Amino acid sequence: MLWKAFLLTGILLSAQTPGNRDWAVYLGDKATAHYSPLDQVNKSNVARLKSAWIFDTGDKGEFQSNALVIGGVLYTSAPSRKIFAINAASGKRIWTFDPSTHQTGAMGRRQRGVVYWADGDDRRIFTGAGTYLYALDAATGNLIPGFGSNGRIHLGEGVAEPAPSVIINTPGVIYKDMYIVGGLTSGPGTIRAYDVRTGKMRWLFHLIPRPGEIGHETWPPEAYKTAGGASNWSGLSLDEKRGIVYVPTETALPDFWGGDRAGANLFANSLVALDAATGKRLWHHQLVHHDLLDKDLPTPPVLLTVTRNGKKIDAVAQGTKHGLLFVFDRVSGQPLWDISEKPIPASELAGEPGWPTQPVPLKPAPLTRQTYTEADVSNISPAARAATLLRFRKSGSQGAYPAPSLQERIIMPGFDGGMEWGGAAVDPEGNYYVNVNEIPWIYQMIPAKDGSGRPVTAGERTYRIHCAACHGFDRKGDAPSGFPDISNPQSRRAVAEAVNNGIGRMSAFGNLPEGQRRALLDYLFGEEKAAAATEVAGPPFLFGGFRRWFDAEGYPAIKPPWGTLNAVNLNTGELKWKVPLGEYSELTRRGIPPTGTENYGGPVVTKGGLIFIGASADETIRAFDKDTGKILWQAKLPFSGNATPSVYMIDGKQYIAISAGGGKSNRPSGGSVVAFALPD
């Protein structure tokens, strides 16, 4: 055990070295500002950056971790939910924690980071795997026995009975001696605060209100017993000085049918400010009413200070999938620019009341096109133009809020943004930097019964309601979106574990009654008898599946740009610049200017005047001039860098590290951490 004590002492001494600067919190700080005060690497020398080291986790998948760096040690969460502690200067492994040695079943693949807490010599790393939260000794990776039951707690315990399945894919935040977190669940969403030492729950906030709670009247009276979702999966931000935690939420379930949840549905699709000490609601704004289009608030809110009419205002900025940016006074919740309610097309489906309007801020202007017009048809080839024009004239577009209909419609922006989970960076001057997607998707609802009006079996109906939106009615999935083909499953046990515990971006469905889960498995494996078909309760209309709109060559069926990096001055609400993010080399060789690509992962802005970002579907990390948007440096990665970089300093040397795992946009996948630095 002497080596462990020596390692701990070395880490603590290293942390006190003046030449060190940590990246100790997910996305840089508790304001999720994605900002580094380091300027050793700057506009004048960034072109000299070279690879310093590469660490291979041995995993494959969507490696989206924004690594922490504390006292010379880098902590990262791999797609398998293994945690690695790595020497942040050399890339050498120090320890590994593998949750599969402590639990069985699906762990969940995506994990965007871990949480660090310390009090003297007590230094902990918190990580999620499956439905559990683990507390690890930061020096050794060993479980801390006094936390929960032998180092872990079940994230659903104390929320409801029976305990629902809750999975963390984006880490929570530390306030004093509490770990505050949400998580994905098919049951009603909650925010919970746990004692960092014992794991005991300190407070709980219901995101689907119960009788007597604010917002209960925006649902049917019994919805808190039957509805699901309204979870927080995209992360939290914290005003530590004031003790306010800011919570963005997803849609209520089911995503695409709201006939059984008439009303605005608070606190789904909302930014909620809570007292971090007690969980009491301070204020909220719902940014999508009665969501029918999966418009989760996909990014953690960003805290910054802006200047309006000569006055400093502490603000919070929240991006959306439909490319709108809402900015509020952090304390009062008052919007910095007026928000109007814009009429949207009414639902065409019987039994779906919809909502007549949706919020739109006066400023900033939308960062993505808000509808698809004839001027947007593809121009990368005559064939692409002809095909996209034909489909546009056939299907038409009603913009970001097409009417629920049995007719196919173009939805723009699409289901993956606009903004996505990578979030935004802000600098001390009040500028906001964010990458967005500009790709149209196809939206369509379909009847729950087949064409002959035949009631489907219980298993098939369960599949249609809970699975078809991602895997398709033909069960062939959508590889670019990360939804696998399950038309010919091989292992009933593996599928059962995925259904019960979740896997990848799939939520756990352990809350479904056992009979429904068994019928679903029977259906998937061809063991359900057709004679068992009966009328089964459920939505009369179902979502037709996630479908990007690509041309015949496989490119987005819209005039470029397809992905951009944007700078917005939030002192004025005006766009400073917009540039393409990423390129397809084969199109560049054809003489087509860089188009930008679909992008996932966020930017970091530094005091050195640089924006570092991977995100694009071309296995490249880039440095942009934060004032102009000009590319100053770029380097190839082993896989696409679908994660936010971490910026830190060790012994006077600045590093930029990024998780490179690919797996998005139908790109190759792996599991590498790549660090860059100036040559000695």
Q: How many CA atoms lie within 13 A of 663 on its CB side?
A: 24
The pair phi, psi for residue 663, each rounded to 5°, is: 85, -15
pLDDT greater than 80 at residue 247:
yes
Residue 661 to residue 64: CA distance in whole angstroms: 7
Nearest alpha-carbon partner for 644 in 299, 134, 221: 299
pLDDT for 195: 98
pLDDT at 2 over 60: no
Q: Which tokens go with 230?
A: 């309204």
In this predicted structure, the answer to whether residue 274 has a pLDDT above a threshold of 70 is yes
Rg, C-alpha atoms of the chain: 24
Which contiguous run of DSSP H or E holds residue 516?
A: helix 514-524
Higher pLDDT: 497 or 328? It is 328
For 25, the token pair is 């919190």
pLDDT in tens, 89-116: 999 999 999 999 999 888 877 899 999 9
Question: Which residues does 390 contact at the CB level (< 8 Å), separation at least 6?
Answer: none
Q: What is the pLDDT of residue 18?
A: 66
Mean pLDDT of 171-190: 96
Over range 242-253, report the average pLDDT.
98
pLDDT tens digits, residue range 468-520?
A: 767 887 888 877 666 789 999 888 988 888 887 777 656 566 656 788 888 88
Token pair belonging to 266: 């608070």
Task: Write the burial class of residue 473 (CB in 10 Å: 0-12 exposed, 13-18 middle, 19+ buried).
Answer: middle
Sheet with 653-662, side-by-side order of all strands: 50-61, 669-677, 653-662, 646-650
232 band by pLDDT with thresholds 50, 70 and 90: very high
Q: Which DSSP letter does residue 155 get?
A: T
In contact, 165 and 508? CB cutoff 8 Å: yes
Provide the 3-class DSSP secondary structure of residue 327.
strand
Using CA atoms, how far residue 440 sits from 207, 216, 415, in Å, is 31, 35, 8
pLDDT tens digits, 611-622: 999 999 999 999
Asked if 267 and 282 touch (Cβ cutoff 8 Å), the reply is no
Q: In this structure, are residues 371 and 418 in contact, taking their beta carbons and an 8 Å threshold?
A: no
Q: What is the pLDDT of residue 16?
A: 47
Percentage of residues in the chain with pLDDT exceeding 70?
93
**Which pLDDT score is estimated for 6?**
39
| Across 189-207, average pLDDT | 98
Predicted confidence at residue 472, as pLDDT, reads 81
What ranges make up the beta strands (E) of 151-301?
152-154, 173-175, 178-181, 190-195, 201-206, 228-229, 237-239, 244-248, 252-253, 270-275, 281-286
pLDDT at 87: 98
Provide the percentage of residues in the chain whose pLDDT is more than 90.
79
Domain ranges of the chain: 445-544
Q: Cα-Cα-Cα-Cα dihedral of 325, 326, 330, 335, to 10°?
A: 150
What's residue 393's pLDDT? Answer: 94
Instruction: State how far the Cα of 126 lies from the Cα of 138, in Å rounded to an integer.
Output: 9
pLDDT above 50 for 3: no
Listing DSSP states for 570-602 in one string gives TTTTEEEEEEE----HHHHHTTPPP----B-S-
646-650 and 93-97: which strand pairing?
unpaired
Which CATH code of 3.40.50.1100, 1.10.760.10, 1.20.1250.20, 3.40.50.1970 fits the domain covering 445-544? 1.10.760.10
pLDDT of residue 13: 38
Q: Which helix (H) or strand (E) holds 317?
A: strand 311-319
Residue for token pair 């599928």:
495
536: pLDDT confidence band, cut at 50, 70 and 90?
low
**Burial state string for 484-518 with b = 16 or more CB within 10 A and e = fewer than 16:** bebeebeeeeebbbbbbbbbbbbbbbbbbeeebbb
Residue 202 near residue 193 (C-beta atoms within 8 A): yes
Q: Quick count: other Cβ atoms within 10 Å of Cβ 51?
A: 13
Q: What is the pTM of this model?
A: 0.90
Are β-strands 604-606 and 35-36 bridged in parallel, bridged antiparallel, or unpaired?
Answer: parallel
- Do the strands 83-87 and 228-229 form a parallel or antiparallel pair, or are they unpaired? unpaired
DSSP code at position 495: H
Residue 369, Cβ neighbours under 10 Å: how many? 21
pLDDT beyond 70 at 83 = yes
At 355-389, the pLDDT tens digits run 999 999 999 999 999 999 999 999 999 999 999 99
- Residue range 417-468, pLDDT digits in tens: 999 999 999 999 999 999 999 999 999 998 887 666 676 677 887 787 678 7
A 10 A CB-CB count for 119 gives: 10
Q: Where are the beta strands (DSSP E) in 12-121?
A: 35-36, 50-61, 68-70, 73-77, 83-87, 93-97, 115-119
pLDDT of residue 223 exceeding 50, the answer is yes
Three-state DSSP at 497 gives: helix
